Structures are given as C-alpha cells and as structure tokens.
Structure 1
Amino acid sequence: MRTRLPRIAGLVLVCALLAAPPAPVSGASADRLEPPARPDGLSQPEQRLSQARFPQTSDRVRGAVAAPMSPLVRRLSTRVGPSSKRVVSPGVTYTTWSQTDARGPIRAHLLAVDLSTPGLRLDYASAGAVRRTDQVSDIIARDRAVAGVNGDFFDIGDTGAPLGLGQDRQRGLLHAPRGGWNSAFWLDKAGRPDIGYLPLKAAVRFRPHLRITNVNSPEVRPGGIGVYTPAWGASAGYRWTGGQTKTVRMVRVVNGRVVETKNKLPSNTVIRGFLLVGRGEGARRLAGLAKGARVDVEGWLQGRPQVAITGNKFLIRNGVFEVINDREMHPRTAIGIDRDTGEVLLLAIDGRQSFSRGYTMVELAEMMQDLGADEALNLDGGGSTTMVARRANGTIGVVNSPSDGAERLVANALEVTYTAP
C-alpha cells in the first residue's frame, strides 16, 4: 500500500495551473448555482437540506465563510506539517496530518482500505432500527469493526432516519427513496466499489397504479406511497406525512394480505407485517385496497449491490470536479475510490476549531483528488464528522476531533471489519 499524503507540496506554477479547477463563483450566487444531487420530488427533510442557505450538513449550522481566493493561490500557499501513519489491520492504514494555507490550518484523517485483502470487508452499519441513532464508536462496535466513519445525512431532531438509501450485507435493503437523494457509494455483486446515482426499484405486484416512492424514509413524498417495515422501528405517525393529517391513509399487510386500512396514522407502535402509507394521490389510490386483498411488494436497488450508502453531492466523477461551492467551511467526511490501486479512501477533516477551520466543498474535492481519488462523494459533515479506528495502544476509539466536543448521535456509518482468514 503506497504512502498517501496530499500531492501539493512544492508544486510549480505550471502544475498548479493544470491541476486547479475553474475558479468558483464568489458570494451567495455560488450556493445558488450548485445543483442538488437530484431535486425532483424531494421530501421536506431533503428540501430543508437542499436549500441554498443550508446545503452542507445535517445540523444545518451556517458555516464560516472562506475568504475569496483562487485555487492557485491556495495551493501555492499550502504547507504540509508533520504526519503520522500506522497500520490499523491488514489492508487498512490510518494517516493523519496538519497543513496550513492562506485561509488557515486544517487537520486531516485518512483511512486507506485495500478491499483485495483476504478477510477485510466494508459494510453498512447502524444502531439497529432505521430511525435509531447512536455514536459511530458504538455503532461499529456491534460488529467488532476495526475502523469506520459516519455516513449519510439524516433527519436530525425529528425521526432520526437517514435521508437516502442503505443496503446492508446481512439485512439487505433497509431504507431508500425512489429518487432525489440517491448519490451513493456501493459495492456491486462482485464486491467492486463504485460511486454514482443509485435508484430504488419498487413495485406492488400486479398493481401498477400503486407507485412506491419510499422505503423506510423520514417522509413519504407528496402524492406518493411509502413502505414501512419492522426494520424502521416504532411508527412515526403524521411525521411520515410532514404533518399532513388530511388525505392520508395507512394500509397494514400481514402475510401478504391487507388486515387493516384507515385514514389515521399510528404513532409509536410496533410495526407488524408492513405498512403502506399514502398522502394525497397516494392515499386515494390506497383507498381501493379492501381487507383481505392480496398485496406483494418488491423492492431492491438497481444492480442489487451488496452494500450501499448515500451522501448529498458527488465531489468527483470520472476524474472531473462536480462541486463549485468554495464558500462555506465545515468539518467534512468523504469517501473516494482510487481506480489505479482499487483502494477505498475514507477522509475526515476536522473543523469549527482553532487548529482546523474545516473545508469548503471545492477544497474537499481537491484534497480527494490529491490523495488519488477518481470518484468521490461527500458524506454528512459538521458535528457528525467522526472517524473511529484502532489506535496505537490497541484500543478502538475516535481518532479525529468532533466539532461538538464529543461524538454526535448519527443515523448510520461505514465500517471496516477484519477476520483473519
């Protein structure tokens, strides 16, 4: 496994000019110009996180605004400080370093994961129920993982559920929207890593008029139909419909048959069988299902990956920058793929602290590219940014500096497990 440090020290002028992406648009217009991952049909939690004012993190804290500066000036002013590197397990190395540029200091943390290592696996991890939150260290401890980072954006302060999709090796598909928050990292059937747009495929067999828009999502899309299974946890009532109480319907299905249908939504109850929850047109269509009706729901992710998790924006696609926001600085978590080595790169940038200001989206993309990523995805940041790994003394714990002063409760994580072959 090669040594990984950002390839920026000592760049000459020509190299900096060639490597630098187009200069970002300054001011608030930069936020307006950067498109959301896929804006069609966003639920209210997704809309809140896609608004120009709060496009960056689940906590929706307004980040410090970076001084306008060209990528060339930033790169030429960058000085990399001391670094340290150690082996976490066979196939996994952890590297940390500090660096300073004209905008100020940052501290970075990198896990490089070689998935070709026998016994090494990358997996989706959570606290159990989809809507349950926990600290990253406790989430990955359940599987005795050797390392991990926080994952998707989530409905913080309300249901706690992730906004996007989650596919677990053991438990299968846990949650997903049909579209709108589907920018994902995944491992395909053969275990190969990929980053791209990953839609949900879902249908009610022999009932094409019943269009499934969500599986275990914080909210059902307006006019849509959501599926809620026991994996969700306790029912969320009208939070599933964004507070809408009229023109809503719940249909309960047990052993493939409708056993209950009503226009009130259950709250804080155990889900037995599964529920179909409709709002607006979706509710009107569900009203046609009578007790005893046969209902079979199928749901899967395109390509049927082994593992999948979403973030909000692609940083790099096929070697090309996908972000333009060079204004808001936050703690950041990102995942990338080095196509040359096949390694998966997990990066955490500390922020909102005196020793580390955090990164803009453009800076994050630049760093991932410098580290060798050909594809990269932004995961949840802010106070959620957490990296856990086996430390030098053999214990497993947090290796970065979460900006809240302690680990935040988050919805899910990506974990690295190792079992000696």
Structure 2
Amino acid sequence: MQTRVDKRRTSSGKAVASLALVGALTGAGLTGAPPAGAATAAGAAGQIAPGVSYAEFDVPAAKGTAHAHVLTVDLRNPRVRVGLLHPGAVGARATVSAMADAAGAVGGVNGDFFNISEAQHPGVEATGAAVGPAIARGHTLKAAVPDGQRFGPALPPGTSTRDVLGVGVDRRARLDSMALDGSVRTRADRVPLGGLNQYALPVGSVGAFTPEWGSVSRVRATCGTDTQRAAPCSTDTYEVTVDRGRVVAAADTPGAGPIADGTTVLVGREAGAQWLRKLSAGDPVQVRHRLVAARSRIPYRFAVGGYPVLRGGAPLPGLDADTSAVRTAAGIGDHGRTLYLLALDGAPAYRTGLSIAEVAQTMRSLGADDAFSLDGGGSSTLAAREPGASSVTVRNHPTDAPERAVANGIGVWARQDRSAHPQPLSRTATRPLKTPA
C-alpha cells in the first residue's frame, strides 16, 4: 500500500492537507510496511505553539471518506508538556474546550470512555466517571472498573479496562496496563481493596472513595456485576466513613456529597459489606492504595484509559474492520518522543468515519508505532489555539453539537518563547470547517 501527502483546494479555496491512502485500508493492506513520508501530513497546516502542530486531512476508507484533525506533539521540546484534562472531580464532566481553557492548555482531545447513562438502573445517577485508570501530574485519581462494566465498543482480544496511554517522568509516551494494589486494614483483619474512585466495584469487594471522587452519588458502584453492566444493583451494601484513620460514620446505603480532605469513604457490596459491618465508631482503619504498571518501572506523570489498537507497528489481532464510526485516538512514534492526537470530523459528509482497524492503519501512516483508541462518537473533539489566541477553538465538528461534556481528555501545554514568532496557520487550520452540504 502506498501513501502520498499532497495539498489540494476545497471549493472555498482553502488549502487542506490530504492524506491519500492508496489501496484498501482493511484486510491484507493492514500488514504492509508503514508508508514513507506520511508523518509529514500532521505538520502540513502549521505550528500552533513551539513543538505543537495541527493539520487536517481526508482519509479514504471502506465506507466513505473520513476527515481527520491531528495535533502532533514533540515531547523532545522542553517547552512542551502533555497531561490529563479533567473537570476537577472523577465523578464529573466538562467539555474539552472548557477544560483546556481552564488549565491553560494550547490544545487537546477527549479521553476515556465513561459512565454516560444508567437506563438499566432506574433512579440511579450516572456518575460521568471514566472507565479506566487516571493519573494527573503524578497523582492517582482512580483505578479501572471490571471489564464487564465498561461503556464503549467491545474490547479487542487481549486488552482490558486497565490499559492506559501515559507519559512518564522521562517525558516518553508509552502504552501500559495499570492494576490497583491496595488494602483496608484494621487491628483484627485485612482485606484487599477492590476499587478506587470507580463507578463500578467488583462483586464482593470493598472500594475506596476519596475527595477526588467529587459529590456525585456512590450508589452506582454497587450496581451490575463483573460480567454484566446491566445486572441489578446489589441489595447487600454498606458504607463506612473514615476520618484521619478512624471510623466516624456508617450507613446501609452508599451516600452522596463532597468528601472532606483527610477522609475516605469505604463502600462494600456482598462480602465486602459484611466485612465493613464489623467496624464500629472509633475503630482504627488504614487504607492503602497505588496503581502498579505492568510494563514500565518509570513513574507516570500522566495516564488515561482506553485500549490499544497498534503495538510495535502491527495492528492488534481481532480488530473490528466492519463497524465504522467517528473516532478519537492517540499514537506514539519516535520511541515515545512524538505523540499524535487524532479526532475525526462528525460533519454529515464524513460521519461514516473509520473502523477500529482503519484507525490503527491511519495512525501507523502518520508515523505511530503504538496507538490507542479513546472515546468516540459524540465525544470526539479536538480543540486547539490559534497562535496568539488566549483560548482554544474546536477544530472538528462534534456529532453532539456544539460539544459533549466528557470525563477527561489529553491536554497539551507549551511555554511560549517570546523571541519566536510562529508563522500563521493556513486558513483551514485557523478557522472551523464549514459544514459540508
């Protein structure tokens, strides 16, 4: 399969970077060598900040042309940083543009899949919390829900809700898997910790909720099972509040409201609830938790959940090549020194989108050796500043116009060099697309 990068003119006279993928994007075409020169497409439209460029281009696909928007981030540049965009609480949502502006980011995309609705559990509040692990500025925010409790498309074989894309303290991006290692200890007993700030706890477990959770109800954590998200909520639950290492309150039903600093709320279901009922006011309780990475000993400054689609330049076996949709993805190239953030356009002319197999090939064509699928559909959003602007602009057309509130995202920060004056972007890179007829 061959790839060429060229410039074309739209009917409005705007220059657009076009990534022409010659040949099929499915089947045997996925196993060929990475097309030479494809990575230049991501820099064709211009620089938005030192080490950060933006481009958009068409991607011919099996079910019609998709339109991609890409931020390319040079992690070698000491002025550039990548991190987690989040709304200030795990159980909350905000738009990518609002989170980016609040954090001073120059751009970003939406992140992990999340608990968006609870139609199967009448009266239970959807939390808005993400599916997978999350780390912001080196601080763990949450762990992963059981695989059967995730929202989103079916996971490819060999992947799980614990999969993450992250950047370590060495400033290299990588794919990894992060498991929760924790415990709840009393004078007489100890149990493993089953969850940390999660909207779904494993059956029979005890989970911890910290101030990072926010004020949303914790009831959802006791609904469903490890294999069936829509299963009924547990009828055997218990909640204990621990303030500075001592039990101060208990309840039969998980509650809501903000959690004070220095306080941890323990929620148990089934066997976990029965264990918590042994505790009394004043009892000392020690709660310990950390995320353990499976593939790297380098501490992570940032991590976000999703699932891998490309490893070592090869698409994962069993990727869906039939279901096309608007997608968001991230790719890693140059031994972790380059990050590609891609969001497809949701305008009607492009809404057929790409299959997951086509996403893997597109990221590979840009120069990625590893790639990671993020939440798509109405969540797919890419926002970026124009040079000199004080706020970001949404560059794609989200299918949930104007923009869906999401659980988190990947943000890009760049310290400006006042002696440098970036060249203005092309018109297509600095103005939102007009909706095609």
TM-score band, normalised by the shorter chain?
A: 0.7 to 0.9
Equivalent in the alignment of 1:200: 180
Q: Do 2:61 and 2:358's aligned partners in 1 also have CA atoms closer than 8 Å?
A: no
User: Distance between the aligned counterparts of 2:363 and 2:245, measured in 1?
Assistant: 47
Equivalent in the alignment of 2:305: 310
The answer to whether 1:274 aligns with 2:255 is no
Q: Do 1:136 and 1:409's aligned partners in 2 also have CA atoms closer than 8 Å?
A: yes
Quote how far apart the aligned CAs of 1:393 are: 7.3
User: Distance between the aligned counterparts of 1:169 and 1:95, measured in 2?
Assistant: 28
Equivalent in the alignment of 2:136: 168
Change (3 A) 1:178 1:189: farther
The letter for the 2-side match of 1:20 is: L
The letter for the 2-side match of 1:407 is: E
Quote how far apart the aligned CAs of 1:17 are: 9.0
Equivalent in the alignment of 2:167: 187
Structure 1 residues 90-109: aligned runs within 5 Å: 90-101=50-61, 103-109=63-69
SS state at 2:254 partner: coil
Residues 55-75 of structure 1, C-alpha deviations (whole Å, 9 max, x = no match): xxxxxxxxxxxxxxxxxxxx9
The letter for the 1-side match of 2:171 is: G
Residues 304-339 of structure 1, C-alpha deviations (whole Å, 9 max, x = no match): 41111101x210122221142111111110111103
Structure 1 residues 14-25: aligned runs within 5 Å: 19-21=29-31
Quote how far apart the aligned CAs of 1:400 are: 0.9
The answer to whether 1:262 aligns with 2:229 is no
Name which of 372, 381, 399 aligns with 2:376. Answer: 381
Quote how far apart the aligned CAs of 1:155 are: 0.3
Residues 18-68 of structure 1, C-alpha deviations (whole Å, 9 max, x = no match): 75349xxxxxxxxxxxxxxxxxxxxxxxxxxxxxxxxxxxxxxxxxxxxxx
Equivalent in the alignment of 2:396: 400
Equivalent in the alignment of 2:328: 333
Quote how far apart the aligned CAs of 1:178 are: 7.0
The letter for the 1-side match of 2:67 is: R
Quote how far apart the aligned CAs of 1:245 are: 5.2
Q: Do 2:59 and 2:65's aligned partners in 1 also have CA atoms closer than 8 Å?
A: yes
Quote how far apart the aligned CAs of 1:391 are: 2.7
The answer to whether 1:155 aligns with 2:115 is yes
The letter for the 2-side match of 1:162 is: A
Change (3 A) 1:105 1:255: same
SS state at 1:285 partner: helix
User: Distance between the aligned counterparts of 1:188 and 1:83, measured in 2?
Assistant: 25
Change (3 A) 1:254 1:413: same
Change (3 A) 1:416 1:237: closer
User: Distance between the aligned counterparts of 1:203 and 1:8, measured in 2?
Assistant: 52
Name which of 179, 191, 196 aligns with 1:215. Answer: 196
Quote how far apart the aligned CAs of 1:369 are: 0.9
Equivalent in the alignment of 2:340: 345
Change (3 A) 1:89 1:247: same
Equivalent in the alignment of 1:58: none
The answer to whether 1:177 aligns with 2:144 is yes
Quote how far apart the aligned CAs of 1:106 are: 1.1
Structure 1 residues 43-192: aligned runs within 5 Å: 84-101=44-61, 103-157=63-117, 158-169=126-137, 172-177=139-144, 180=147, 181-192=161-172
Percent identity reads 31
Residues 86-144 of structure 1, C-alpha deviations (whole Å, 9 max, x = no match): 10110011011124355311101111101111221101111111111111000111111
Name which of 280, 291, 295 aligns with 2:281. Answer: 291
Equivalent in the alignment of 1:412: 408
Residues 178-208 of structure 1, C-alpha deviations (whole Å, 9 max, x = no match): 7641110011232321102222222235777
SS state at 1:328 partner: coil
Stretches of structure 1 that go unaligned for 5 or more consecutive residues are 23-74, 76-80
Equivalent in the alignment of 1:300: 290
User: Distance between the aligned counterparts of 1:281 and 1:173, measured in 2?
Assistant: 26
Quote how far apart the aligned CAs of 1:280 are: 0.8
Relative to structure 2, which stretch is displaced further, 379-388 or 93-102?
93-102
Quote how far apart the aligned CAs of 1:175 are: 1.2
Q: Do 2:343 and 2:381's aligned partners in 1 also have CA atoms closer than 8 Å?
A: yes
The letter for the 2-side match of 1:163 is: V
Equivalent in the alignment of 1:234: 215
Quote how far apart the aligned CAs of 1:352 are: 6.5
The letter for the 2-side match of 1:227 is: A
Quote how far apart the aligned CAs of 1:416 are: 0.5
Equivalent in the alignment of 1:35: none
Change (3 A) 1:16 1:293: closer
Change (3 A) 1:262 1:87: same
Indicate the RMSD between aligned Cα atoms, in angstroms.
3.0
SS state at 1:163 partner: coil
The letter for the 2-side match of 1:408 is: R
The letter for the 2-side match of 1:257 is: R
Change (3 A) 1:163 1:82: closer
SS state at 1:129 partner: coil
Provide the TM-score with structure 1 as the length reference: 0.78
SS state at 1:298 partner: strand
Relative to structure 2, which stretch is displaced further, 384-393 or 97-106?
97-106
Q: Do 1:205 and 1:297's aligned partners in 2 also have CA atoms closer than 8 Å?
A: yes
Q: Do 1:179 and 1:200's aligned partners in 2 also have CA atoms closer than 8 Å?
A: no
SS state at 1:253 partner: strand
Q: Do 1:391 and 1:399's aligned partners in 2 also have CA atoms closer than 8 Å?
A: no
Quote how far apart the aligned CAs of 1:385 are: 0.2
Quote how far apart the aligned CAs of 1:296 are: 1.8
SS state at 2:349 partner: coil
Quote how far apart the aligned CAs of 1:214 are: 1.2
SS state at 2:100 partner: helix
The letter for the 1-side match of 2:184 is: V
SS state at 1:93 partner: strand
Equivalent in the alignment of 2:153: none
SS state at 1:383 partner: helix
SS state at 2:194 partner: strand
